[in-house]
């Protein structure tokens, strides 16, 4: 049976994570297992929305549904989410590997970044540079950042040099944070001999700032990074950095999972780093570690062509999809739009896994007083997931709903091994709409435009939901104009509007029109002795009976207070239909009374008025006549009751 491995790895668009994943993919293919990579995209400007979304995908996996788990904790920058995952894994009892951090109950594959950073600092000190600024990643969110910063501090102190805390800057492992810190260093008027950065992205940002400001690297200032990312060789000058052997780390993690599945004990592995001394620190790089100008230009050209092709192509897909999403009024319509574009994104397999549509897109109860602003949104994955779009090797297929913890249906997961599936959330405006599963393709999944597409899906679904709520609100506002809130029968405004067209129809067909006027008996007594809540209950029961007896070409109205009207038509010779309606109303009230469910006796006085439709100028006249007949019946009831009381008195 194909083994299924869960991988928790943040921000696979970053160089470090890309290399780890490439190594894992090598292992997945070698051992014919499937990887499910739960990840997010990190852009240059992270918002509260994107941070929440990044955390959301970590709620999805139920790790007991997998054969093993690989966790890369240093890429998860939400301490609360990471702590929750670690606690859950501690109770799992399955093969688990942590990368770059020791965690109880797990094997660990790590590189010694402390020793590597320490060695890098000593390299600069050896060359006589003592005025050094250090640029760290987030010291709050990243233990790896804290470890490398500690190595800088220890190396300085152990070599008899003091450092000023103001020379340590805290970034976010992104190029943008490097740019901001570079500008800050220049604004402060500092002139460091060297700037040591906690990763390559921040180093590239700082180099760009200093070069634009007219500084020469390494003549005026030396710079180094950490990671040996793709750009480090391509830059001019080439960037001094540390190669963390992350491909080997990723491969070793999968190898360790497979060995743990075969009964091996957990173990700690420390893989060596390799120093890459290049031009940015003033060193002469080794011949095999620097690209010649022709090779460099060829690589840049090749990378540019691919990026341009993929960027233009994906941008067209995202633009077209966004425009067509605007037409969707229901989630199903949006899913149909997606099917037009999924074949164009260049992947063999893609699954849009939607949370329960009936739950996520549920409209408020039909209560006209409900405010849609107080509606709760669906902030977590639903118990069951529906694959709204399933695309496999050029064809759309279908699967039944399945429990969310499996991520994909069992029959889908077990089709073949050696696959890497990237799992991203579909989340917008604090509402969880589901997630996307894509068979990894570097040029697609590593592209920011792929994640823009996923964001647009979330925005599109959110817009559909808002449209549905808005339409429902408009319908309910219309209801407030034409319906009685207590009984949901027409009020006078709604009745007048609907009755006009019905009356025109009766006249055209030469029909008779009738009005049944009903008045609830004993409502005032019920209100006075039992309370208005019981009185309202009586009104609702009569309203329900009116609803039940309105059929075909008929209308029901709450005329006001305890008065109701039924309006309809019949052909000559069908007067018996009117008597059936009256008898049905009496029978329904009798049934309610015999049920014993209310503390009151349901009764109503009724008056009937019939006219030839073409002779009616105003329905008010017909209603008034029926009202008078109703009062005749009510007076007769009162007289009969008084006579009976006198006899019994």
As given in the structure block, the two tokens for residue 592 are 């309610």
How high does pLDDT run on average in the chain? Answer: 88
List, by residue range, all CATH 3.40.50.2300 domains of the chain: 111-246+265-295
Say if residues 244 and 225 touch (Cβ distance below 8 Å). no
Judged against a pLDDT cut of 80, whether residue 302 lies above it is answered with no
> Residue 1 burial by CB count (10 A; 0-12/13-18/19+): exposed, middle or buried?
exposed
Q: What is the dihedral of CA 318, 322, 323, 324, to 10 degrees?
A: 100
Say if residues 556 and 489 touch (Cβ distance below 8 Å). yes
d(CA 135, CA 173): 9
Judged against a pLDDT cut of 60, whether residue 332 lies above it is answered with yes
| Cα 119–chain centre separation | 44
The helix (run of H) or strand (run of E) holding residue 354 is: strand 349-355
The pLDDT tens digits for 437-457 are 998 766 556 666 788 888 899
The pLDDT tens digits for 148-165 are 999 999 999 999 998 889
Is the pTM for the entire model greater than 0.85?
no
| 3 state DSSP class of 606 | strand
Q: Which pLDDT score, from 0 to 100, does residue 144 have?
A: 86
Looking at the domain covering 111-246+265-295, what would its CATH class be?
Answer: alpha beta
> What does the pLDDT average to over 250-273?
95
Say if residues 95 and 261 touch (Cβ distance below 8 Å). yes
CATH architecture of the domain with residue range 492-648: 2-Layer Sandwich (3.30)
Judged against a pLDDT cut of 50, whether residue 368 lies above it is answered with no
The pLDDT tens digits for 122-157 are 999 999 999 999 999 989 878 889 999 999 999 999
> What does the pLDDT average to over 389-396?
94
As given in the structure block, the two tokens for residue 630 are 């109703």
The helix (run of H) or strand (run of E) holding residue 484 is: none
List, by residue range, all CATH 3.30.70.270 domains of the chain: 492-648
């Amino acid at each position: 049976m194909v083994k299924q491995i869960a991988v928790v790895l943040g921000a696979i668009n970053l160089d470090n994570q890309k290399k780890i994943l490439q190594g894992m993919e090598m292992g997945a293919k070698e051992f014919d297992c499937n990887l499910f990579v739960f990840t997010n995209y990190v852009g240059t400007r992270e918002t509260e929305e994107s941070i929440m979304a990044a955390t959301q995908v970590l709620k999805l996996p139920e790790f007991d549904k997998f054969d093993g788990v690989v966790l890369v904790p240093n890429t998860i920058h939400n301490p609360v989410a990471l702590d929750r995952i670690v606690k859950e894994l501690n109770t799992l009892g399955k093969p688990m590997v942590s990368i770059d951090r020791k965690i109880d109950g797990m094997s660990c594959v790590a590189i010694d970044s402390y020793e590597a950073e320490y060695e890098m600092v000593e390299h600069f000190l050896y060359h006589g540079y003592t005025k050094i600024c250090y640029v760290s990643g987030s010291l709050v969110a990243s233990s790896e950042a804290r470890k490398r910063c500690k190595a800088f501090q220890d190396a300085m102190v152990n070599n008899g040099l003091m450092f000023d805390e103001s020379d340590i800057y805290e970034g976010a492992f992104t190029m943008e944070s490097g740019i901001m810190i570079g500008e800050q260093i220049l604004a402060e008027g500092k002139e460091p001999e060297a700037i040591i950065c906690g990763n390559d992205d921040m180093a590239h940002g700082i180099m760009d700032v200093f070069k634009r400001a007219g500084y020469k690297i390494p003549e005026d200032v030396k710079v180094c990074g950490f990671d040996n990312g793709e750009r480090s060789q391509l830059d001019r000058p080439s960037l001094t950095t540390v190669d963390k052997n992350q491909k080997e780390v990723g491969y070793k993690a999968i190898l360790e999972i497979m060995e743990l599945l075969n009964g091996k004990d957990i173990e700690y592995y420390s893989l060596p780093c390799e120093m890459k001394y290049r031009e940015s620190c003033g060193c002469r790089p080794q011949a095999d570690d620097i690209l010649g100008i022709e090779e460099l230009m060829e690589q840049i050209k090749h990378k540019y062509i691919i990026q341009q092709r993929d960027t233009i192509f994906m941008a067209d897909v995202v633009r077209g999809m966004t425009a067509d999403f605007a037409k969707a009024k229901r989630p199903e319509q949006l899913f149909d739009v997606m099917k037009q574009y999924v074949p164009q994104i260049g992947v063999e397999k893609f699954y849009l896994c939607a949370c329960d549509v009936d739950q996520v897109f549920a409209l408020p109860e039909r209560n006209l007083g409900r405010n849609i602003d107080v509606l709760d949104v669906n902030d977590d994955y639903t118990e069951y997931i529906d694959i709204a779009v399933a695309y496999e090797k050029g064809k759309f297929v279908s699967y039944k709903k399945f429990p969310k913890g499996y991520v994909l249906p069992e029959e889908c997961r077990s089709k073949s091994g050696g696959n890497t599936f990237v799992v991203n959330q579909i989340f917008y405006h604090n509402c969880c709409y589901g997630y996307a599963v894509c068979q990894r393709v570097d040029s697609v999944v590593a592209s920011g435009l792929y994640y823009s597409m996923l964001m647009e899906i979330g925005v599109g679904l959110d817009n559909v939901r808002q449209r549905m709520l808005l339409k429902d609100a408009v319908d309910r506002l219309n209801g407030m104009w034409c319906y009685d809130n207590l009984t949901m029968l027409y009020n006078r405004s709604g009745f007048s509007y609907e009755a006009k067209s019905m009356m025109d129809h009766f006249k055209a067909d030469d029909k008779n029109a009738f009005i049944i006027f009903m008045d609830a008996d004993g409502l005032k007594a019920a209100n006075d002795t039992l309370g208005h809540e019981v009185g309202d209950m009586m009104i609702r029961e009569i309203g329900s009976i009116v609803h039940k007896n309105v059929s075909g070409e008929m209308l029901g109205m709450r005329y006001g207070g305890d008065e109701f009207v039924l309006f309809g038509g019949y052909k000559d010779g069908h007067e018996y239909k009117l008597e059936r309606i009256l008898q049905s109303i009496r029978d329904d009230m009798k049934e309610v009374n015999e049920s014993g469910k209310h503390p009151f006796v349901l009764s109503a006085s009724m008056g009937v008025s019939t006219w030839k439709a073409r002779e009616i100028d105003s329905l008010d006249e017909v209603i008034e006549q029926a009202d008078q007949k109703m009062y005749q019946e009510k007076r007769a009831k009162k007289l009969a009751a008084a006579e009976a009381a006198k006899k019994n008195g």
